[in-house]
Every structure is written in C-alpha cells, then in structure tokens.
Amino acid sequence: MTPMTQLAASPASLAYVTKARARTTGRVRRVTTALALAVVLAFLLSLSLGDFLVPIWHVPSDVVGSGDAAEVLVVQHLRLPRAILALPVGAALGMSGAVFQALARNPLASPDILGITAGGSLSAVVGLTVLGLSGLFLSFAATGGALVTAVLIYVLAYRQGLSSYRLVLVGIGVGAIALALIQFFWTRAHTYDAASAALWLSGSLNGRGMESIWPILVMLAVAVPATLVLAKRLGVLELGDDTAAAVGLAVQRSRALLLLAAVALAGAAIGAAGPVAFVAFVSGPIARRLTRTGSAALVQAALTGAALVSVADLVGRTALSSSEVSVGVITGIAGAPYLLWLLARTNKSGRGN
C-alpha cells in the first residue's frame, strides 16, 4: 500500500480522499447503528406480539421476571427462547452468505447453491428418520453433515488451486446427490417421521426451548471472531487472485480458512433451525447496498440476517391464526420479490444482457 500513497502526493487529492473516507465511515456507522436498532426492535416485538399480547413496555420487566405472572410465563418460557434463537441463526446465515458471495465474487453463491445446506439437511434427515435423533444430537448431526459436505466439495473442486467457478459447479453436483438422498430417505420414512423431517427441512424455530440455544452460541463464539479476523484477507481476495497474490497473500490458504469459517457458521445455523431459505442469499447484498463501501460488510450482513429471521419468524408465528408457518417458508416467499427486484434493477441499468 505504501508506494501507492506516495504516488498520490497532491495535497488536494489527499484532502479529497480523506473527506470521502470520512463520509463513508460515517455512513457505515449510521447503517450499523440503524441495523442494530432494527434487530433490537424485532426482538422486542417478537416477545410482545402473539395470541396473548404483552405491551412492549412490559417486555423488559417480564424478561427479568418482575412483571405480571402470566406475562412472565408467556414471555420468559414461550417466546424468549425462540426470539433469542432467531438472532444467532440469522446472524450466522447472514455472515456466512456474505463470506461465500465475496469469496466467489458472485451474489448467487450462497451455502444453498453450493450444496452445503443440502448436505447438512441430509445428515439431519438420516438422523431423524433412520437413527431417531432429536434435539441436540440432531443439531450436531446437521452441523457435522454441513462440514463434511463442505470438505467433500473442497476436495473434489481442488485442482492446482481452487477456482470459484469450479467450486460452485462441484457444489451443485454434490448438492444434487444430497437432495436425491434426502428424497430417498424422506419417502422411506414413516408418516410421522416424514412430517417432522418436512418441518425441519422447511427451516423452523417452532417449539424450541432454551436448551437448543447454547450449541449454536458455542459454535458462533469460535466461528464469528475467526471470520472477523479473516475478513481483512477477504477484502484482499476480492481484488482477484492475481492481485491478492501480488500483495503477498497466501491465496489458497486464506480461501480455505475463510471457507471453513463460513461453513462453520452456516452449519451452526442449519443445526439449530434447519435450512432457512434465502437469508444467507439476501443479507450480504442488502448490507453491501446499505453501506456502499464495496466491501463484504460482514457485521452488517450478520445484523441484517438477524433482523430478517426475527421478523420472518414473528410473521410466520402470527400471520395465520390457525397454524404456525415455518420461518423458512416466510423467508422463501419474501425472497422471491427481492430476486425479481434484482432482476428489474439489472434490467434498468442496462446490464440485462
């Protein structure tokens, strides 16, 4: 970097750069604050709304257990675990997706497309319908499945280095096998098991208690800091392999480490809630567009994901009075307009070809 700074010596241009940077930093800070507030608001709303309405200003005292007894029961025992779980699930998916998209330099590259979600789902469906797993073991099975799938994709795609293109294609291939096997086990299962597998596969927070929260928190406690430490390398990788190598980055190793971190994030989320559609896919681009820095905006993507999953779960829980709708169904239905908007935008800017 130093030679570049020396080249840009004119005081006027330096002042311009400093001003532009200050403007960007200011916006990033504002966007981050706004997203964090949105997450807090969504969290409070999901504790407050439902069949039994708890006034939002009662929520804090109910959470600590000092409010009205009935409200405390509803808030603490029925809504709190689920509202909490939505946050790490969304954050992990958002951050994971942002890393994947930055690595592949392609907004279509999310854990869903790469087959990692399918691998996690496969091991969960096998665990559920064949081994009769549930709860914590199911979470671990799903996370483990996602990790094993990722390693498999990596090994199969590795050939004198790792091209993003090959990675995506191999991911699609591996994902197809996993999906076929999911279908196989799903058709073989008894009706009851098949129904719980279908619920799990839809990406759902239904009926989660406090005990399902700590595994994902433990995994994120390792994966999130690791990802943030690696984020600097991600920024360099985004310039292209040749540039990154020229700046002195160990390209292949950095990519492998980043992939591992991103897979761990996605795996943790899949283990906790199943494959919640579209969150990993949309969070990164939304965060990028809001911050306008041109970088992956990992923290903002995580906040976006957390807000999305909280709101979607709230909608799924309250929209139909008769039954609960899985959060993944809501995000799937809501994600389509986003893609169509992306389409219209591409069209308008003349990049339709």
Partner 1 sequence: MTAIVTTTAPTPQRHQLLGATTRPLGLLLITGLLVVVLLASLTLGSRYIPLQTTVDAFLHHDHTNAEQTVVLTLRVPRTLIGLMAGVALGLAGAVMQGVSRNPLADPGVLGINAGAALAVLIGVFFFGATTLSGYVWFAFAGAGVAVVTVYAIASIGRDGATAIKLALAGTAITAMLGSLTTLVQLMDVRTMDAFRAWSVGSLAGRGADVADAVWPFIVIGSVLALTTSRMLNALALGDDVARALGVRVERSRLICGAAVMILAGAATAAVGPVAFVGLTVPHVARALVGPDYRWILPYSAVLAPLLFLGADILGRLVVAPAELQVGVVTAILGAPVFIAIVRRKQVRSL
In sequence order, which residues have a C-beta less than 8 Å from that of residue 289 and are 6 or more positions away?
Answer: none
Interaction between residue 252 and partner 1 (CB under 8 A): no
Residue 258, interface with partner 1 (CB under 8 A)? no
- Ramachandran angles phi, psi of 70, nearest 5°: -65, -40
Q: With contact defined as beta carbons under 8 Å apart, do 128 and 197 qualify? A: yes
Q: What are phi and psi of 230, to 5 degrees?
A: -80, -10
Mapped onto helix, strand or coil, the DSSP state of residue 214 is helix
Contact 46, 314 (CB under 8 A): yes
Q: Which of 98, 278, 290, 306 touches partner 1 by CB under 8 A?
A: 278
Interaction between residue 156 and partner 1 (CB under 8 A): yes
339 binds partner 1 (CB under 8 A): yes
Part in contact with partner 1 (CB under 8 A); list of ranges 6-14, 41-49, 121-129, 176-184: 176-184
Q: Considering only 8-16, 100-108, 225-233, 253-261, which stretch makes contact with partner 1 by CB under 8 A?
A: 100-108
Q: Give helix 80-104 / helix 164-188 axis angle, nearest 10°.
A: 140
Q: How many other β-carbons are positioned within 10 Å of the β-carbon of residue 204? A: 23
Closer to partner 1 by CB, 158 or 228: give it. Answer: 158
| Span of 20-28, 37-45, 72-80, 184-192 interacting with partner 1 by CB under 8 A | 184-192
The gap between the terminal CA atoms of the chain, to the nearest Å, is 36
Task: List the one residue from 98, 124, 170, 302 that touches partner 1 (CB under 8 A).
Answer: 170
Question: Binding to partner 1 (CB under 8 A): which residues in 306-325?
Answer: 323, 325
Q: Is 179 in the site for partner 1 (CB under 8 A)?
A: yes
Is 352 one of the binding residues for partner 1 (CB under 8 A)? yes
Q: Count residues binding partner 1 (CB under 8 A).
A: 62
Q: Which of 269, 7, 321 is nearest to 121 (CA)?
A: 269
Closest CA to 260 of 100, 123, 141: 100
* Residue 229-248 contact track with partner 1, rule CB under 8 A, x = bound: ------------x-------
Task: Answer whether 273's CB lies under 8 Å from 138's CB.
Answer: no
Using the rule CB under 8 A, is 12 a contact of partner 1? no
Judged by CB under 8 A, the residue of 13, 18, 243, 347 near partner 1 is 347
Residue 325 carries which DSSP code?
Answer: -
Tokens for 286?
């939304």
Q: Would you say 59 and 47 are in contact if contact means Cβ atoms under 8 Å apart?
A: yes
Neighbours of 184 (CB within 10 A): 13
What DSSP character marks residue 186?
H
Contact range with partner 1 by CB under 8 A, out of 38-46, 123-131, 243-251, 344-352: 344-352
Tell the smallest beta-carbon distance from residue 340 to partner 1 (Å): 5
Contacts with partner 1, residue ranges (CB under 8 A): 104-109, 156-157, 159, 163-166, 168-170, 172-174, 176-177, 179-181, 183-184, 186-187, 191, 194-195, 198-199, 201-202, 241, 277-278, 323, 325-326, 328-333, 335-337, 339-340, 342-344, 346-348, 350-353
